[in-house]
């Protein structure tokens, strides 16, 4: 296995499919704000002065920087999680094949990779604009702190959701340099959506977590009650995505995306049962991957049809 493939596997690069579409939604919302003339000042965000740059170049540069931030932030979070959990992963039959316990990547290499990813993230934020750079340490704290939470709180799923929810807000800030309600609504959508499906994923490790003093909603409440909590979180996610549609004045393409997104929430709950976890991976990866990608594409299409 090549070095690149080893590290892509370490950080589960394929799972980028969950947050990236929402980052692109935030970016598209920012462009939409520019088109409406709400925020563009002609300032050069790369030098933080008033030197104008072509708007098309601005879009391209910011887009590339947002992608760098997404990749590096997520890579830092995943690599650090694998580094911190290496002893637990080695004891858990489900996770013993992961790169660090399997000896494919050393713990020190994973830690160095985490530090490098954090540095690259900060550098990219510096070149985006001032507010993104100032908030970058806060974002890093949230996404790295998640790895500690399973040691002391069953609310760890919500912290994971919070970390991924920074994507639409961060991308919007990269374009506009200011906060707005609509990207925040999409961020709340992500918090409840990710928290809900992470609860489902954690059903696989109830016995292991209980025997190793690790906290999760399933290990504390049991499988049946945990699924009810997951359903509630997904109801809240659906409410947020509907609220965003109403507040943003979206049209029919957006609502098709909402139907797909909510439909995938219903689907994953229909195939995962307390006494049958054989389809957890289908619910986790397939259903949520479809929900994120299809919804993201249709939201962006709706924005540019306005």
Tens-digit pLDDT profile for residues 138-164: 999 999 999 999 999 999 999 999 999
With a pLDDT cut of 70, the percent of the chain lying above it is: 92
What is the mean predicted confidence (pLDDT) over 238-261?
97
Strand partners, 44: 49
Higher pLDDT, 103 or 11: 103
Residue 83's pLDDT band (cuts 50, 70, 90): very high
What is the mean predicted confidence (pLDDT) over 33-39?
62
Q: If DSSP codes are grouped into helix, strand and coil, which group holds residue 276? A: strand
Instruction: Select 3-305's CATH number: 1.10.357.140, 3.40.190.10, 3.10.20.340, 3.40.225.10.
Output: 1.10.357.140
Residue 282's pLDDT band (cuts 50, 70, 90): confident
Q: What is the pLDDT of residue 235?
A: 98
What is the mean predicted confidence (pLDDT) over 94-105?
93
Q: If DSSP codes are grouped into helix, strand and coil, which group holds residue 273? A: strand
CB neighbour list of residue 89: distance below 8 Å, 6 or more residues apart: 82, 95, 96, 98, 100, 101
- Statement: residue 300 has pLDDT above 50: yes
Dihedrals phi, psi of 44, to nearest 5 degrees: -90, 105
Query: What Rg do the C-alpha atoms of the chain give, in angstroms?
Result: 20
Q: If DSSP codes are grouped into helix, strand and coil, which group holds residue 85? A: coil
CB neighbour list of residue 280: distance below 8 Å, 6 or more residues apart: 200, 201, 203, 204, 272
Q: What is the pLDDT of residue 44?
A: 47
Q: What angle do CA 80, 85, 91 make, to 5 degrees?
A: 155
d(Cα 273, Cα 200) in Å, to the nearest integer?
10
Tens-digit pLDDT profile for residues 153-212: 999 999 999 999 999 999 999 999 999 999 999 999 999 999 999 999 999 999 999 999
CB count in 10 Å sphere of residue 138: 10
Strand partners, 273: 276
d(Cα 71, Cα 78) in Å, to the nearest integer?
11
- Statement: residue 49 has pLDDT above 80: no
């Amino acid at each position: 296995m090549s070095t690149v493939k080893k590290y892509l596997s370490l950080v589960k690069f394929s799972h980028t499919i969950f947050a990236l579409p929402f980052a692109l939604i935030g970016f598209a919302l920012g462009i939409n704000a520019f088109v409406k003339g709400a925020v563009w000042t002609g300032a050069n965000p790369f030098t933080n002065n008033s030197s104008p740059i072509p708007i098309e170049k601005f879009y391209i540069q910011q887009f590339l920087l947002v992608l760098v931030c997404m990749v590096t932030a997520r890579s830092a979070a995943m690599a650090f999680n694998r580094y911190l959990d290496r002893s637990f992963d080695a004891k858990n039959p489900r996770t013993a094949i992961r790169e660090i316990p399997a000896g494919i990547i050393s713990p020190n290499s994973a830690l160095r990779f985490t530090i490098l990813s954090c540095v690259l993230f900060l550098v990219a934020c510096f070149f985006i604009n001032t507010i993104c750079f100032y908030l970058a340490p806060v974002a890093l704290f949230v996404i790295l702190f998640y790895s500690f939470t399973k040691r002391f709180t069953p609310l760890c799923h919500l912290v994971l959701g919070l970390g991924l929810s920074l994507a639409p807000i961060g991308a919007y800030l990269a374009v506009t340099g200011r906060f707005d309600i609509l990207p925040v609504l999409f961020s709340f959508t992500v918090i409840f959506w990710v928290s809900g499906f992470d609860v489902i994923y954690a059903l696989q490790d109830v016995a292991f977590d209980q025997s190793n003093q690790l906290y999760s909603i399933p290990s504390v409440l049991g499988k049946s009650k945990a699924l009810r909590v997951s359903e509630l979180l997904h109801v809240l996610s659906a409410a947020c995505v509907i609220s965003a549609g109403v507040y943003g004045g979206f049209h029919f393409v957006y609502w098709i995306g909402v139907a797909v997104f909510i439909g995938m929430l219903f689907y994953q709950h229909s195939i995962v049962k307390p006494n049958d976890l054989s389809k957890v991976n289908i619910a986790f990866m397939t259903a949520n991957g479809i929900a994120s990608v299809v919804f993201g594409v249709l939201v962006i299409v709706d924005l540019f049809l306005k």
